[in-house]
Amino acid sequence: MTDQTSPDAEILEQNLNKINDLTKRMMAALADRKSHSPNLETPDHQFYAKAAAAYFAEMMSDPSRIIEAQVGYWTESLKNWSEIQQQMAGTVEEKDSEPTKDKRFKHENWEKNPYFKMIKQQYLLSSKTIETITKDMSHLPEREREKVNFFAKQVVDMFAPTNFLASNPDALERAMETNGQSLVDGLQNFVADLESNQQGIAVRLADPDAFVVGKDIATTPGSVVFQNRMFQLIQYSPSTSKVYKKPLLITPPWINKFYILDLRPENSLIKYAVDQGHTVFVVSWVNPDASYADCGFDTYLEEGLLVAINKVLEITRQKSANVAGYCIGGTLLACAMAYLTAIGEDKKVNKATFFTTMTDFKNPGELGNFLEPGFLKGIRAQVEETGYLESYFMSRAFSFLRARDLVYAPAVRSYMMGEAPPAFDLLQWNADSTNLPGRMAVEYLQKLYVDNELVEGKFELLGEKIRLAQINRPIFAVSTIQDHIAPWASTFRGLTKTGGERTFILSESGHIAGIVNPASKDKYGHWHNPEPPRDPEFWLENATYVKESWWHRWSEWLAKGEEKTTPARKPGNKNNPEIEPAPGSYVLKPGV
């Protein structure tokens, strides 16, 4: 460690007393935690049994690969130990090392201090060895190998030395500098997080009080013009004197709240669309509780999107509308379009836009690693008990897709360094998640993710088999190249199952930042290929990269064939009067 002044003994003692008091609160919070199925915490025993059996089968059939990895580990360990001994004895000349790309090991003591250097080198060596052994286990099917690799990586990330106080030089240095105040603040943060969620610990990624919904974020002017038990329909006030004839309806995911598309004015897709001259409507889904246990995917279609489309057409006196769906909201839109085609009402959708939308779940990406039989069993048990799936469980699953950035790094900053979470609108939205109705949660994971019924034409809603091939309206689909939730190649393959004019755009960045990519900043570019979507790899090889937000291209596509000739529409009409100002009251309901 670098030299530090001696800690103030009196202040240090006061902080230790504070830690004792906080520890009592922590124990009380732990005792008050709700019980839930252990299957929601870890893969079931069958998964571990398969992995163990495959490992031993690998040793029997190809022992050289395992032995080679182990010998390599021993050899490198001895080499590391020898270098550390020389460094401690001062018999090796100190060399300027290359800056590490791993941001966990930026502190100078990871190189200069023998203790920390040995820990780091052994951790990285162990990580590499585990990866080598698990990545090519030939006695497992490809999907099972992916799961083994995923959970092996989860274990490796969990045991990073930076996650523990005794082996984190940044945290130890900070504790010395503050006479232990950082540890007091960190424990205070930990206890506060623990007390705020009875299901388990969920580190706060952003200051929950930095932005107020309706005041600092979700501020685009408008009004709720309709509501039922499933959603509120918001119509936004025009900002242009003339608007396009066709209205634009946006259906967001109900796993999160709609205002991801209406954060601050400078990064609001909703405001951007209004300013372009569109009459914009947005579905604000209810945050369900136990009374919604009977609601399934069909309920979101029948009482949700189909009602919203009809209301938009009624209010604007149009026969068709442009409709956009984000994530699972896009999956619902695809189902709605196929259903409307089946009953002869497909012309109600003029043009359709899909943001990071999965319809083919054959390769669901990293999220599919959680869909073990035991995990699904745990979800069923949970929803049978409560009637709904609490937001904590899905939110935690999504966080562990990027555990280093969304779990461990924030935990280190908050609990070890004692730092307050930052003021970040996007991360505050991320923490403001929603519950899922019990029946819908099970249907969604089992029928779509596991059984892939939608793309195979087996998914039935409201008495109709949903067939993607029936969709024959113009489509604009946007996916993101670093998406951990809806892998772009999978969204692409789902698009190939539909008919009609199809435009596919691949944005830089991930599931959220690649979509919330303001045209005024052009932070992330995109790839475009005018050829009809067939094969994702071939499409990308022949695509053109454009260094600007896809918002520009989408705006042009929406406006193609239309002019702003309609007088600006105020929210609501005689039969659908304004109920309350946007963003409405449904979005303010917290998770249970």
For residue range 406-435, what is the model confidence (pLDDT) as tens digits?
Answer: 899 999 999 999 999 999 999 899 888 899
569 with 274: CB under 8 angstroms? no
pLDDT at residue 132 in the model? 84
pLDDT of the residue at 1: 46
Residue 452 CB neighbour total at 10 angstroms: 17
Structural contact between residues 238 and 419, judged by C-beta atoms closer than 8 angstroms: no
- Out of 140, 315, 327, 471, pick the active-site residue: 327
Whether the per-residue pLDDT at 495 is higher than 80: the answer is yes
234 — pLDDT class (breaks 50, 70, 90): very high
Q: What's the pLDDT band for 262 if we cut at 50, 70, 90?
A: very high
Cis peptide before 583 (omega within 30 of 0): yes
Measured CA distances, 192 to 25, 125, 392, 568 (Å):
9, 36, 16, 48
Inter-CA distances, 42 with 164, 313, 385, Å = 22, 47, 20
Alpha helices in 32-159 (DSSP H): 45-61, 63-89, 109-112, 114-134, 142-158
Residue range 265-270: mean pLDDT, rounded: 97
297 Cα distance to chain centroid: 20
CB 355 within 8 A of CB 327: yes
Backbone conformation region of residue 289, classed left if phi is above 0, alpha if psi is from -120 to 50, else beta: beta
Mean pLDDT of the chain: 90
For residues 527-555, give the mean pLDDT. Answer: 95
d(CA 459, CA 149): 31
C-alpha–C-alpha distance, residues 368 and 512, integer Å: 19
533's CB contacts (< 8 A; 6+ apart) are: 492, 495, 496, 502, 504, 539
Say what the pTM is.
Answer: 0.89
For residue 39, what pLDDT is reported? Answer: 66
pLDDT in the model for residue 555: 97
The percentage of the chain sitting over the pLDDT mark of 90, rounded to a whole number, equals 64
Q: Is the pLDDT of residue 295 over 90?
A: yes
Structure tokens at 280: 């914009």
- Is the pLDDT at 150 greater than 90? The verdict is no
Average pLDDT estimate for 135-154: 80
pLDDT in tens, 503-524: 999 999 999 999 999 999 999 9
> What does the pLDDT read at residue 592?
53
Residues 540, 527 contacting (CB under 8 angstroms):
yes
pLDDT digits (tens, 9 = 90+) for 36-78: 666 666 666 666 676 677 666 766 777 777 778 788 888 888 8
Known active-site residue 327:
yes
Q: What is the pLDDT of residue 63?
A: 74
Q: What is the pLDDT of residues 79-128, one digit of tens each?
A: 888 888 888 887 766 555 566 788 999 999 999 999 999 999 999 999 99
| Structure confidence at residue 96 (pLDDT) | 56
* Structure confidence at residue 2 as a pLDDT band (50, 70, 90): very low
What is the average pLDDT across 187-210? 85
